[in-house]
């Protein structure tokens, strides 16, 4: 699944060039040979479609997706000719979409280009027979993608439902960095090849070049015009564009071959009759064709390998004699599952162990342990909190460019190690895996931290001494409900939302009063406010202002209501009647314009004096002053959990109402309570719920996801049965003129 698609990339380019050049094998062979330098030379910056990006970086889905994309495109172009072609194009497009997002976008461009090309040809053609043929082609080209969408609904619907919880990384790269000199040479050669192709155009030249042009516009737009938050990783599309341009390069090489052949023919004696001359020219062509082709191929390969530049780093796999560096850590972890593991990110220059940290995180998870970090941080919203925490215990701060104030805060990094360790304890870390000598020295000085394992490869495991903290536990104080915006995407440094306030709380390692994200932004719709110890308003949205006003006035009679200053009408109305809100506090915040984007590749800014931190300190002061404790003697909780179910058992009904219970599992909206009560996200994006009796949480699909799954399964079944029925009933292929008549 990883190696074979990469090795098949030249074959995929051969097939694509063969299909769009009217089955010209010379163009196909030339394109396949031309693509080899892009796959193996580091200077071409082919992130996603190259050997080094697959085997060294780990971007292993794009080659498989591209192979499927080419197979689909070749089948899709003539999908109206045969029943099996139509069915296969539906399945291949579905697999392309499921395999890789970037190839899915490219497939959409191909669909739009081919449909547009069909419409243009239909308008230009006047003959009824040709118009019917084009009409059938358009119907097939339209129906095939629609069926593919239905086949992929089981994945598309959950993906769109969960998009708010993806930690996207826009990766805005300047154009001059994204396109090095070697690529400019490639583009110049491709442009000449396009002119050669247009001199003898094929039917597919227009849609193919339209897709390439659309990719060029998209890359330029992303690198120069689009806003920084736009979640389009242009380098991945640049890689697709580079590989597609191998087709016009193949036309150029084919044209050069024919030119060389003509030059050799002209060197023949000219004093022959016309018939003899034609025979002699044909004989020369036949006798020189194979040697010339071999010479060209050999020259391309020799020149390519002579100038190839290797990647700047070497260590990607653990050879047998090196595996002991991490095997000892894994053996220890397999026997100690009583806490989470925090694995250091070592310096990339730190010998052969440079990439061990990434491997350890993956292998720990594979064998059933819990690690607080992974290579691709988009996997969990907790990455915004945990990745900076890992950096504080690492020699090399690897922030990955995610939008995290903690990863950008120099003051957070400079906090004492004891505070970072306390923060690690609170999120369930018991074992810290370290390789850097200076970090080991710092840890050895801390009380309550001891070495429990040393491997021969330099990795050591430190245990943080602490009381066993259960994964499911009651809170000591009632939490505060925060009504605010929410985003895990690229944010600005002075932007207010729930994640930013949670980051400020995490930075201070103060968790007495948990911050809970309200699932409802409209104040007049807030429910179960009595369960919370305080209410914090950052936004003032509502359907009925009077209902919202009365609900807040009622709450402020007995619980703290913290109002962040705003231009909203409701805020000014409450402020004018503040005497009727005895427990309300107005917290003034400095309104600032747009600031720099929070794209933290390394700590670069001091947030101690920022306006948001001053606002948070005022919030914390009020929460600390008015926090509502819960009698711990009234609570006795036991829990059981597995991947899809968490049971919370109360020994007896509580005498203090519903109890806030923290669950150290990443919040996701697919977690549901059997009794229908609400589950909230809380700092640092764990789950929180209120229980008054024994209850269970279940991770299950939402109704829309179950419907999408059934539609996909039904569509697949219909497609299979329809093809089987047509095969049995007719034993004939689906002709062009019959496509619209048969389903």
SS3 of 425-469: the string is HHCCEEEEEECCHHHHHHHHCCCCEEEEEECCCCCEEEEECCCCC
Torsion of CA 699, 703, 704, 708, to 10 degrees: 90
Q: What would the DSSP string read from start to end of 601-651? A: SS--B--TT-HHHHHHHHHHHHHHHH--B--GGG--EEEEE-SSEEEEEES
Residue 732: which residues within 8 A CB-CB, separation 6 or more?
none
Quote the DSSP letter at residue 470. P
- Contact between 397 and 389 under an 8 Å Cβ cutoff? The reply is no
Q: What would the DSSP string read from start to end of 494-546? A: T--SHHHHHHHHHHHT--SS-EEE-S--BGGG---GGG-SEEEES--B-S-HH
Give which of 336, 677, 337, 646 is closest to 473, Cα–Cα: 646
Quote the DSSP letter at residue 610. -
340, containing H or E segment: strand 340-343
Give which of 88, 72, 73, 70 is closest to 32, Cα–Cα: 70
715, containing H or E segment: helix 703-730
Question: Within a 10 A sphere around the Cβ of 121, how many other Cβ atoms?
Answer: 17
Distance CA 300, CA 33 (A): 7
Give which of 669, 721, 713 is closest to 152, Cα–Cα: 713
pLDDT of residue 734: 43
Crossing angle of the two packed helices 83-99 and 101-124, in degrees rounded to 10: 140
Tokens linked to 119:
């419409």
Residue segments in the chain with a per-residue pLDDT below the cut of 70: 229, 264-265, 267-293, 296-297, 300-301, 303-307, 309-322, 348-354, 593-594, 632-635, 652-656, 728-743
- Contact between 560 and 583 under an 8 Å Cβ cutoff? The reply is yes
Cβ density class 335-357: b for 16+ within 10 Å, e for less: ebeebbbbbbbbeeebeebbbbb
pTM, to two decimals: 0.85
pLDDT of residue 591: 73
Q: What is the pLDDT of residues 692-721, one digit of tens each?
A: 888 899 999 899 999 999 999 999 999 888
- Diameter of the chain by CA atoms? 115
Does the CA dihedral 714-715-718-721 come out positive or negative? negative
Tokens linked to 554:
């009622």
Cα Rg, the chain, nearest whole Å: 32
Three-state DSSP class for 595? Answer: coil
Distance CA 501, CA 614 (A): 11
Cα angle for residues 69, 103, 202 (degrees, 5° grid): 50
Strand partners, 492: 597
Strand 561-564 and strand 534-537: the pairing is parallel
- Contact between 245 and 190 under an 8 Å Cβ cutoff? The reply is yes
pLDDT of residue 115: 94
pLDDT of residue 402: 85
Distance CA 384, CA 65 (A): 29
Q: 507 — phi, psi (to 5°)?
A: -65, -35
Q: What is the 3-state secondary structure (H, E, C) of 103-144?
A: HHHHHHHHHHHHHHHHHHHHHHCCCHHHHHHHHHHHHHHHHH
- Contact between 403 and 600 under an 8 Å Cβ cutoff? The reply is yes
Tokens linked to 135:
């009409």
Q: 354 — phi, psi (to 5°)?
A: -60, -40
End-to-end CA distance of the chain: give it in Å, rounded. 35
Residue 8: which residues within 8 A CB-CB, separation 6 or more?
63, 67
Torsion of CA 43, 45, 50, 51, to 10 degrees: 50
Cα angle for residues 693, 699, 705 (degrees, 5° grid): 130
Three-state DSSP class for 648? Answer: strand
């Amino acid at each position: 699944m990883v190696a074979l698609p990469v090795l098949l990339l030249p074959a995929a380019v051969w097939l694509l060039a063969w299909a769009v050049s009217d089955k010209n094998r010379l163009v196909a062979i030339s394109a396949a040979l031309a693509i080899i330098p892009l796959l193996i030379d580091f200077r071409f910056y082919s992130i996603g479609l190259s050997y080094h990006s697959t085997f060294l970086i780990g971007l292993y889905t794009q080659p498989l997706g591209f192979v499927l994309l080419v197979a689909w495109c070749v089948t899709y172009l003539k999908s109206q000719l045969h029943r099996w072609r139509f069915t296969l194009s539906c399945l291949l497009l579905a697999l392309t979409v499921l395999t890789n997002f970037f190839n899915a976008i490219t497939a959409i461009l191909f669909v739009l280009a081919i449909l547009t090309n069909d419409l243009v040809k239909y308008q230009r053609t006047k003959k009824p027979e040709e118009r019917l043929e084009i009409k059938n082609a358009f119907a097939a080209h339209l129906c095939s993608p629609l069926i593919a969408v239905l086949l992929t609904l089981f994945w598309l619907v959950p993906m769109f439902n969960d998009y708010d919880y993806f930690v996207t990384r826009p990766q805005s790269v300047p154009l001059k960095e994204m396109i090095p000199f070697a690529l400019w040479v490639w583009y110049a050669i491709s442009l000449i090849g396009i002119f050669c192709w247009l001199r003898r155009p094929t039917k597919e030249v227009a849609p193919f070049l339209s897709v390439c042009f659309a990719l060029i516009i998209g890359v330029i737009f992303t690198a120069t015009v689009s806003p920084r938050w736009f979640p389009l990783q242009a380098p991945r599309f640049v890689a697709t564009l580079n590989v597609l341009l191998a087709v016009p390069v193949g036309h150029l090489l084919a044209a050069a071959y024919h030119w060389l052949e003509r030059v050799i023919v002209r060197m023949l004696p000219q004093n022959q009759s016309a018939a003899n001359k034609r025979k002699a020219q044909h004989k020369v062509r036949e006798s020189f064709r194979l040697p010339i082709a071999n010479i060209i191929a050999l020259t391309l390969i020799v020149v390519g390998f002579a100038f190839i530049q290797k990647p700047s780093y070497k260590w990607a796999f653990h050879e047998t004699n090196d595996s002991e560096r991490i095997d000892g850590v894994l053996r220890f972890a397999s026997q100690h599952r009583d806490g989470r593991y925090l694995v250091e990110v070592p310096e990339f220059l730190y010998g052969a162990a440079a990439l061990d940290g990434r491997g350890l995180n993956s292998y720990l998870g594979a064998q059933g342990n819990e690690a607080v970090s992974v290579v691709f941080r988009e996997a969990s919203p907790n990455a915004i909190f945990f990745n900076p925490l890992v950096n504080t215990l690492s020699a090399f701060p690897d922030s990955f460019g995610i939008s995290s104030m903690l990863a950008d805060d120099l003051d957070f990094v400079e906090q004492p190690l004891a505070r970072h360790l306390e923060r690690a304890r609170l999120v369930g870390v018991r074992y810290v895996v370290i390789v850097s000598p200076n970090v080991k020295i710092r840890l050895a000085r801390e009380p309550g931290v001891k070495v429990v394992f040393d491997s021969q490869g330099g990795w050591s495991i430190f245990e943080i001494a602490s009381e066993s903290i259960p994964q499911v536990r009651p809170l000591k104080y009632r939490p505060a409900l925060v009504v605010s915006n929410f985003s895990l995407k690229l944010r600005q440094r002075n932007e207010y939302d729930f994640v930013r306030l949670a980051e400020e709380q995490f930075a201070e390692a103060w968790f007495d009063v948990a911050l809970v994200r309200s699932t409802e932004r409209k104040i007049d719709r807030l429910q179960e406010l009595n369960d919370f110890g305080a209410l914090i308003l950052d936004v003032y949205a509502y359907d009925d202002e009077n209902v919202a006003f009365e609900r807040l006035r009622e709450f402020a009679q007995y619980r703290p209501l913290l109002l962040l200053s705003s231009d909203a009408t409701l805020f000014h109305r409450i402020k004018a009647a503040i005497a009727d809100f005895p427990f309300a506090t107005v917290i003034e915040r400095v309104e600032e314009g747009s600031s720099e984007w929070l794209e933290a590749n390394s700590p670069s800014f001091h947030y101690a004096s920022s306006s948001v931190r001053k606002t948070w300190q005022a919030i914390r002061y009020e929460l600390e002053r008015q926090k509502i404790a819960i009698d711990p003697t009234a609570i006795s909780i036991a829990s059981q959990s597995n991947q899809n179910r968490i049971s919370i058992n109360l020994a007896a009904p509580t005498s203090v109402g519903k109890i806030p219970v923290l669950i150290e599992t990443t919040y996701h909206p697919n977690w549901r309570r059997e009794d229908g009560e609400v589950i909230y996200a809380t700092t640092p994006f764990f789950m929180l719920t209120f229980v008054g009796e024994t209850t269970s949480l279940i991770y299950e699909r939402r109704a829309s996801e179950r419907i999408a799954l059934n539609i996909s399964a039904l569509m697949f079944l219909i497609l299979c049965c329809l093809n089987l029925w047509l095969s049995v009933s007719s034993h004939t292929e689906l002709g062009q003129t019959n496509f619209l008549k048969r389903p």
